[in-house]
Chain A
């Protein structure tokens, strides 16, 4: 997994609430057996018309946001299905951080497994950053995971909370499975105990 440390980039505003995983990556693109190449289909049904032409009004189609690396989004971003294709598509497009007041649980976890930082901030902070993002490509935001801060283009700093373990993994690009494998003795012991306590399981 790619590390996430500090990022300064263009932020795209998506004020819509409840942006679900079907919007992020519609199901017709889940038929792949690979993780890569989903970026062109990110937000597919909002981004293209039936003939595959770009819809100019859609934020990521606007010239100033085509290189966006950060999304500022409405409440409850990523609700819906467990598809990890959603963070894969965001990542493939180039999005490395998403800022919202709240995220759906599974999506939130999936982001961390793919080097994307989901940032939860209070409503008023998100509103300020949403305005900032609306300024377009000259307004670059900085996300600093080490310092747990987001800095708007005009220097306002917002502090965010992040789970210590998730932060550690993301900062160092660590693979969860490898870390858990180191605890194999504990898993063995648990299985042994469970075999007597709950042998039917």
Chain B
């Protein structure tokens, strides 16, 4: 009899190639996702040492971080450095024979949206990418985490990663969510409760009724931000919803292979009595629609709250809060709903999927963006974009006054021309509110797509629940 194991333990055990005495393991990697920003130096490294990509069939590349989201980008990218990076990826994908979705392919999009969409991400796999939000793929019960460029090169060359096992952490969201509360509110609330270092050294398994009830899109939103809580990865045990989502995707197994895979996937759950080193439990009904007020994802408050004062905190956080408030241009005590915005960004690997666009469009239908507010919708992939057009969502956004863009990371990190001007304030569905993240001196408030849409309509941070009663 083996001792009861967590989901993480099981996936880990099935991927250990070699274990040293000190516990350092060589872990086999099933899927390696690659994008243009963190890979050029890795491919260069391979060239310099005369190495090949060990498993090109398990390696998938797509340009996303740097690409403009406006028409004509497949012909020409103005910014020279961006163009060089995209061209470098074109060349590397071709030279090394890896799977590739170039910028003019309808399947192009944010790497963490493309992987699941194309069926590359499957339960029980190990998935890595030179990007911290690789945690997203954990929604499928895959062990997925971000790596640096040296590790990208290591995986390209050996299809393995040198790893030490993390500890197990359980985050349970019990019961049901209240109306107007979404996956984004769950994941932000968890970070608010644990802090951005609360998950450091752990792999989180999210569980509980509220997590089970989420769609696959919602689960991806939750796992996406595991990294913002410091965790190496986030995981959700696969279930019927997972299998349903995966089935029929281009790279999902078919026929007999599907049956075999399914039988294996059904063993991927945490055994009764398995040990967790840390447990956090939050009641679903206690979670409100939230927004961030500061420059760290842990700076989370219910939308009904007020801007805190530095003195509300302790230790190093006092100074950090002072700096944040100054940066964000906020005064302690002011109501969050009084914060006026200049821009709205709907997109990113956190909230750029079809369900997110539906949620935002439901609020925006028949309404207009507030005067003076700039709105931008950037679908997570070309396929999401096409589907949104088919469902009539694109028209709702356009009628409301939003810009309807091509797929990419866009203003999530503002490496392309989509940026905030200094001092501009944005209601954003992305995952990071760091200083300068969306543009030099830009100010970011993180929230769900529905909340961002509500803010677009009123021109200030808004409790979406008030608008929901209006529309019902």
Q: Any chain B CB within 8 A of the CB of A118? A: no
Closest-by-CB residue of B relative to A201 is B30
Residue interface mask B63-94, A partner, CB < 8 A = 1? 00110000000000001011011001000000
Given contacts A27-B415, A79-B196, A102-B197, contact A33 B157 (CB under 8 A): no
**CB neighbors of A among B141-173 (8 A):** 145-151, 153-154, 157-160, 162, 164
* Contact residues in B for A142 (Cβ distance below 8 Å): none
Closest-by-CB residue of B relative to A179 is B162
Most buried by A among B49, B261, B316, B414: B316
Partner of B84 from A18, A33, A187 at Cβ < 8 Å: A33
Which of the candidate stretches B17-25, B179-187, B344-352 sits at the interface with the other chain? B17-25
Closest-by-CB residue of B relative to A45 is B436
**Pairwise interchain contact A17-B320, C-beta atoms closer than 8 A:** yes
Given contacts A106-B148, A183-B26, contact A31 B230 (CB under 8 A): no
Closest-by-CB residue of A relative to B40 is A33
**CB neighbors of A among B9-23 (8 A):** 14, 17-18, 20, 22
* Contact residues in A for B122 (Cβ distance below 8 Å): 200-201
Closest-by-CB residue of B relative to A112 is B150
Given contacts A176-B162, A183-B26, contact A30 B415 (CB under 8 A): yes
CB distance from A191 to the nearest CB of B (A): 8
Given contacts A33-B84, A79-B196, A82-B132, contact A183 B20 (CB under 8 A): no
* Contact residues in A for B137 (Cβ distance below 8 Å): none
* Contact residues in B for A187 (Cβ distance below 8 Å): 17, 26, 28, 54, 158-160
Given contacts A34-B41, A102-B200, contact A23 B316 (CB under 8 A): no
Given contacts A18-B196, A79-B196, A82-B131, contact A31 B20 (CB under 8 A): no
**Pairwise interchain contact B437-A83, C-beta atoms closer than 8 A:** no
Partner of A177 from B81, B153, B232 at Cβ < 8 Å: B153
**Pairwise interchain contact B316-A74, C-beta atoms closer than 8 A:** yes
CB distance from B356 to the nearest CB of A (A): 21
A109 and B437 CA atoms in complex are apart in Å by 23
A200 and B436 CA atoms in complex are apart in Å by 42
**Pairwise interchain contact B261-A81, C-beta atoms closer than 8 A:** no
* Contact residues in A for B260 (Cβ distance below 8 Å): 199-200
Q: Any chain B CB within 8 A of the CB of A76? A: yes
**Pairwise interchain contact B261-A180, C-beta atoms closer than 8 A:** no
Q: Any chain A CB within 8 A of the CB of B125? A: yes
**Pairwise interchain contact A198-B82, C-beta atoms closer than 8 A:** no
Q: Any chain B CB within 8 A of the CB of A55? A: no
A28 and B413 CA atoms in complex are apart in Å by 10
**Pairwise interchain contact A23-B38, C-beta atoms closer than 8 A:** no
**CB neighbors of B among A109-159 (8 A):** 109-110, 113-114
Q: Any chain A CB within 8 A of the CB of B192? A: no
CB distance from A28 to the nearest CB of B (A): 7
Q: Any chain A CB within 8 A of the CB of B440? A: yes
* Contact residues in A for B298 (Cβ distance below 8 Å): 18
Q: Any chain A CB within 8 A of the CB of B257? A: yes
**Pairwise interchain contact A183-B230, C-beta atoms closer than 8 A:** no
**Pairwise interchain contact B320-A84, C-beta atoms closer than 8 A:** no
**Pairwise interchain contact A35-B230, C-beta atoms closer than 8 A:** no
Given contacts A22-B437, A75-B197, A177-B51, contact A106 B17 (CB under 8 A): no
A183 and B227 CA atoms in complex are apart in Å by 30
Q: Any chain A CB within 8 A of the CB of B253? A: yes
Given contacts A106-B147, A165-B20, contact A76 B164 (CB under 8 A): no
- For the side of the interface on B, what is the size category? 35 or more
Given contacts A16-B323, A76-B196, A113-B151, contact A106 B132 (CB under 8 A): yes
**CB neighbors of B among A50-103 (8 A):** 50, 74-76, 79-84, 87, 102-103
* Contact residues in A for B432 (Cβ distance below 8 Å): 20, 22, 80-81
CB distance from B177 to the nearest CB of A (A): 28
Residue interface mask B88-124, A partner, CB < 8 A = 1? 1000000000000000000000000000000000101
A87 and B150 CA atoms in complex are apart in Å by 11
Given contacts A31-B81, A84-B149, A181-B158, contact A26 B197 (CB under 8 A): no
**Pairwise interchain contact B18-A186, C-beta atoms closer than 8 A:** yes
Closest-by-CB residue of B relative to A34 is B41
**Pairwise interchain contact A105-B28, C-beta atoms closer than 8 A:** no
Q: Any chain B CB within 8 A of the CB of A40? A: no
Closest-by-CB residue of A relative to B79 is A31
Q: Any chain A CB within 8 A of the CB of B434? A: yes
A74 and B296 CA atoms in complex are apart in Å by 14
**Pairwise interchain contact A45-B257, C-beta atoms closer than 8 A:** no
A26 and B441 CA atoms in complex are apart in Å by 12
Q: Any chain A CB within 8 A of the CB of B338? A: no
Please list 27 pairs of residues, one from A and one from B, whose beta carbons are closer than 8 Å in the complex, sorted by A's number: A17-B315, A20-B434, A33-B88, A45-B440, A76-B196, A81-B132, A81-B146, A82-B131, A82-B146, A83-B37, A104-B197, A106-B132, A109-B147, A110-B149, A113-B150, A164-B24, A165-B22, A165-B162, A190-B17, A190-B28, A191-B159, A197-B14, A198-B124, A200-B252, A200-B257, A200-B261, A201-B122
Other CB < 8 Å A-B pairs besides A84-B41, A105-B200, A105-B230, 16 of them? A18-B320, A27-B414, A27-B415, A31-B79, A74-B320, A75-B316, A79-B197, A79-B230, A82-B130, A84-B149, A176-B150, A184-B158, A187-B159, A194-B28, A198-B261, A201-B30
**Residues in A lying within 8 Å of B, measured CB to CB:** 15-18, 20, 22-23, 26-28, 30-35, 45, 50, 74-76, 79-84, 87, 102-106, 109-110, 113-114, 163-165, 176-177, 180-181, 183-184, 186-187, 190-191, 194, 197-201
The 6 closest A-B pairs by CB, nearest first: A31-B81, A113-B150, A200-B253, A33-B40, A110-B148, A17-B316
**Residues in B lying within 8 Å of A, measured CB to CB:** 14, 17-18, 20, 22, 24, 26, 28, 30, 37-38, 40-41, 44, 49, 51, 54, 65-66, 79, 81-82, 84-85, 88, 122, 124-125, 130-132, 145-151, 153-154, 157-160, 162, 164, 196-197, 200-201, 227, 230-232, 252-253, 257-258, 260-261, 264, 296, 298, 315-317, 319-320, 323, 413-415, 422, 432, 434-437, 440
